[in-house]
Structure 1
Amino acid sequence: MNNTSHIATTDDLARRLYRMARIQAGWSPIEFAGEAAVSGQEIEESLERLEQLGLLRPCRRSPSGYRAMDPRRALDRLLHMELAQIDHYRRHVTSTHNAIRMLTEDFSGFDEDRRQAVRVEIIRDPAEVDAFLHDAIALLHGHEYLMYQGATPSVELVDEMLLRDCHALGRGIQVKALHVRHIAEVQHVRDYLIDVRHRGADVRLADWLPLHLMILDDALALIPIDPEGPLAGFLAVFSREVARSYRAIFDFSWLAAVPLDAAQAADETVGVEKLQLTPQELAIARMLATGTTNHAIARHLGVSARTLSRLITTLLERLQVQTRFQAGMKIAQLDLLTTNGIPPAESAAGRRSPGE
């Protein structure tokens, strides 16, 4: 099934599920799954879709765990979210304009007699970008400073970045890299950052960065042609004065950022200590995330089904989620799946089937 037909199926199932939620006060997802003959994963996707639309809201007092909302209220909520996104974009544009003004007014006021010619190359084609970066890194003799402000890079792009960084570090080049924190939460990006950090690069994370930027030997600055799409091509600016101006922005952002090792330690602390999960709750969370049935979890922990039900309810409240599926996603996001001696699901027979 292709992605388009899958979306259509999910939306159709979501509409049927919403009709039941509006008509039957005592409905439950499990009951609907049985009547519709669909899997648990399909029900979870439909519930998630309805929550995104604002048509279902979590409600612990309801037997189903949800409360059906009026479509008009859901529409008002989406319009409010859209206005908030527009406001966020406006602030982003304002921030970019302020950065431009800072460059032109605060950093570009060179005396006329010291002004040097600036050479600028426009590089749009991805293959030309790769070739240019390869040649530029090969000519480095001092340092490489990278500020990555864009969207999450693809696995292929990360592999290319790793090869270039390894080549530079192997020649004794100083590499300093700044990345926004949210993309460091993506597994392949995190692996890349840890790898280059172990190879000698200085890596820091920031909640926000003003622009996408690469500075080579304080003589060459690479900036995106389109600030909103840094992969669409670059302007290669050959000028020590301009490079030093961008270096000032980089240094300011660097001082405000957190070293990668400190950020990792903080994330690990948040994962367990902030939630204050007990060893028993952590074991339950990991087994839920691996699809273990309640019966198998209760047998492993040596507790009754009623006691386990109470423990799972408490765990969902601490994780601030409503369902087992959402709990598994949260546990994976917090990187708490490492067993540390806690066995995963005991056997294939102990795992939930998709429709269970």
Structure 2
Amino acid sequence: MFAVLGLETKDEAVYREMLESPALGIEEIAARLTTSPDRVRACLDKLFELQLIQESFEAPGRFLAVEPAVGIQQILARQHDELIERQRQIADSHTSFIRMLSGTGAHSSRGSGIERLEGMDAVQRRLRELSHDAAREVLTFMPGGPQSVAALQAARLNDGHALGRGVTIRTIGLDGVRDDAATLDYARWLTEQRGEFRTAASLPPRMVLVDGASALIPIDPGNTRRGALCLSDPALLAPLLALFDQIWAGSTPLDTEHHHTLSDRERALLACIAQGHTDESAAKQLHVSPRTTRRMMASIMDQLGARSRFEAGLKAARLGWL
């Protein structure tokens, strides 16, 4: 457990000594652990940075160990925030990549490795073609929370044909789809057919990768109905494959009991928003910047698969977050 938090064996030993004997000084801890005072000071620096120790109010210059239940909970909450931020950075980078391709691929063709497909009809035709031709695997990002009935029907049809030929299908949706009956029904159907479905707190824009040889990504991530780019250039596909593998490794399998997790700050933000605070006034209440408040709210909406703050409030209330 302590190794996961970034602590080495000596750090853990110093922390345990401080828990068991709060009155010990640096020299005494060093003697007990048969190490140097400088090594103990280095451990204290790390423990202080992780907020596992704090300075005494009664005796300035002396440090006290924070109770493990409190300290570890704070660390896990920070790590959760960092993970969500990292996923958001990945999604933003992917969005920028798509926009760059959209700008350079306006007059492209299949021969160039970038083909522009205008409108949903053209996209659906190409999806059917790719599904029919798939020989090995189909990898999909399914962002946007609960899916439409039409989209789920098309996915079942295309996936059914591919699965029947022994093609591997791996799909990642948002955590919020676990609360949507129709999307969850599709996900369970997929796993029953020997496909795989996982969920993540946040995702890049929609993407379909087929056999590592073709990929469909939206022309405009903010309006997927405009159409898609069909990529076949290996140099463009390699980072998309690496991106999928990275997010897949950190996602949650469908058959794993999933619990939405909120940090203390996110819960406090939800409470402020429920009381009618704006981003700016909530930021003042939480002693953070408005930008941080907006980022936290976006993370909460991603976890819930909510398209608006109102919808997020309803789902949060149903889950007992408020």
Rg larger for:
1
| RCO higher in structure (CA 8 A, sep ≥6) | 2
Name the TM-score class by shorter chain: 0.3 to 0.5
* TM-score normalised by the chain length of structure 2: 0.47
